[in-house]
Structure 1
Amino acid sequence: MDAGSDSPSAQAGPSAPTAAAAAAGTATAVGTPAAVDQTAADQTVSSVLARAADGGRITADEALLLYTRAPLHALGRAADAARRRRFPDDIVTYIIDRNINYTNVCVTACRFCAFYRAPGHKEGWVRDVDDILTRCGEAVELGATQIMLQGGHHPEFGIEWYEGTFAAIKRAYPQLALHSLGASEVVHIARTSGVSFTDVIVRLRDAGLDSFAGAGAEILTERPRHAIAPLKEPGHVWLSVMETAHGLGLESTATFMMGTGETNAERIEHLRMIRDVQDRTGGFRSFIPWTYQPENNHLRGRTQASTIEYLRLVAVARLFFDNIAHLQGSWLTTGKEVGQLTLHMGADDLGSVMLEENVVSSAGARHRTNRTELIHLIRAADRTPAQRDTLYRHLVVHRDPAQDPVDDRVASHFSSTALPIVATT
């Protein structure tokens, strides 16, 4: 990992202590300017932590101060207190879903993506509607309540393709929530079909889309976004599409891929941009940060976020987002142990048992889990596990371990169907 601006200790700004005071093992005499500066900084951090833990709003500058300067354990305690204020029952949720990728053909060519293939590439593919419906049927059999239909920005896929596909899924499996696509797909469909963003959103909604995923957010801050995805819409356009969708009755999640070379200040700016929209719409159900995966893509892992950077970001997000209810920890990109640690840093959701996932795994994420293990991870963190739906309603609260569900098939799969294909004659 780069030891420069991508480190939490970098870019602390004018509140940082002098080099002598900051040096490990260096004693500073009481009453010297360095000691006075350090004491003032510590008092400021403590004051901001206390205010945020009590539900008070903090500024972006204060969030950056906490991210770069707050002691890790104090930061975690404050974030956990903020979580408990919102969810005093200590329930942590998970969902069973399936990510169905309908094509890997994409014209956007993001530098961090290992999944896409350019139009005309020999490895490009498209799933037909029957294949998609088969995968939906498997998901229903395994207890899934949500489908995330996502894929590349195919140059030939206009609004009609999505309308027909969504309508077919809803006819066959009306019980499945379609939490799918994202603002980037709206921009692409609008360009391909020659219609407005509003028209795309309304037609997707009317065809059966229940809510938008946070896909395509990556990082919304201008400089790093352009560096890793120069052909993708700017961050302010992504947010504008989401704001329009919220106004039309489609809620969404918000995400953040960290570790692609952004500075600490740019990380916090990403949070600020999301919070500003949330103040106006209230349409973001949750915030989901995850880490860049370095394999098989053009960035080649030159910069990555460390575990500590990720945990600090989760905690700061819980303190900063006083207007977003849920915060999800990522086990898929950081590992199950780190995912479990997020439950002590403000997270109240541990994501999903993904019956299929192809995009992040193609870039190197090889962590797998199943429902039994996810329930155990939550319970071992001294929380009560609960299966939820897309709206975060509790479907089953697992209060008694003796009553935990047991089904070895409900497990994460990569690049595969979840159930064996039975040959017919």
Structure 2
Amino acid sequence: MLSAQAVPVVRATLPAVSAAIEEIARTFYRRMFDAHPELLRNLFNRGNQANGQQQQALAGSVVAFAGLLLERPDARPDAMLARIAHKHVSLGVTSDQYKIVHRHLLAAVAEVLGDAVTDAVAAAWDEVYWLMANALTAIEAGLYRDAAVAEGDVWRPMEITERRRETPDVVSLRLRPTDGRPAGTFRPGQYVSVQAELPDGARQIRQYSLSSAPEEGDWRIGVKRVRPTRGRGPEGEVSTWLHEHARPGTVLAVSAPFGDLVLPDEATERGGPLLLASAGIGITPMLGILAHLARVGSARRVVVVHADRSPADHAHRAEQRQLVRALPGARLHLWYEAPGPGPSEASTGLADVRGLDLPDGLTAYLCGPPPFLRTVRGHLLERGVRPEDVHYEVFGPDLGPGHPGRANPR
């Protein structure tokens, strides 16, 4: 918790910091990348830096954390920070890198706010930073320990054993360790980081959900090619490289599995009812969960929802239907914005769970773009599902409390 001296200072200055936080974030990244250009080339997502999304994510997390320290001083911040910690360990972030961030972030605050940053203000926000940083490093140390790897040592070479085109924009890749050992287990719903060496020598990293069951042995990921939106913005650097160059025999650096959008450790066949709702490429972690449930012969009730632009854009469509049919308690509900020709069991338009038969005691897992998450989560809360029973993941930087999801850029 904040010290008694820092509380009134942070409370008084939080509005000013909040108003300037995006400029502070831009200044911070500029300063840090000027001093450490290797971080932009080999750690941070260059696409999210170019479009400003990473700055917004930092702004949201810092402001939210400071607000939590003021509003709930005795609360542990672990739940709020868990998603960030999982992302960090999947990138191999180490505790000494927090010192680099500290140096440039506090310098950016002073540069942007100028004379308003007195010694007392600097000390108070220094305290905020280290409370957040130390909480993150403690969570991350536990994640490294659970993964049985040294801090930052998450990478190993894996060979692509199979490539399959699922849709015009999605390919799936099966991965196997090059040393012949088993790929290892993971929790259904987790993701891995993949490092790609690009033509300019940069080693850019992206996260991809594991779409196979842990019991299958090899791992499988789905890669959606990121294209400009309405003709604007850059193509995805890593997704484009993987689509154009990744073939059976290609060796990739792949991290250990991480991520907190997972089924609990309880025996799944004795668990309560589930809602698995996805949109677009958000289907991939849901496939991993469904495949696991099918492997263990789960009898729990599962409501499966998927929304997509059209049947042709629906990656793993036949596989998803097959997995649902393998589960006696599962039912599938589909929505397509542009249904294909001929009769269809899918509804037209955007996903709407308000009219579905949702069992009591439901635990919901959502994955997709922010508008989908906000809509479905809102509908579930209207139906009486408890907020703590709605878990979600977004593919893109976490933009703060108003934009639910964990940073998982493709």
The answer, yes or no, to whether TM exceeds 0.5 is no
TM-score normalised by the chain length of structure 2: 0.29
Higher relative contact order (Cα pairs below 8 Å, separated by 6+ residues): 1
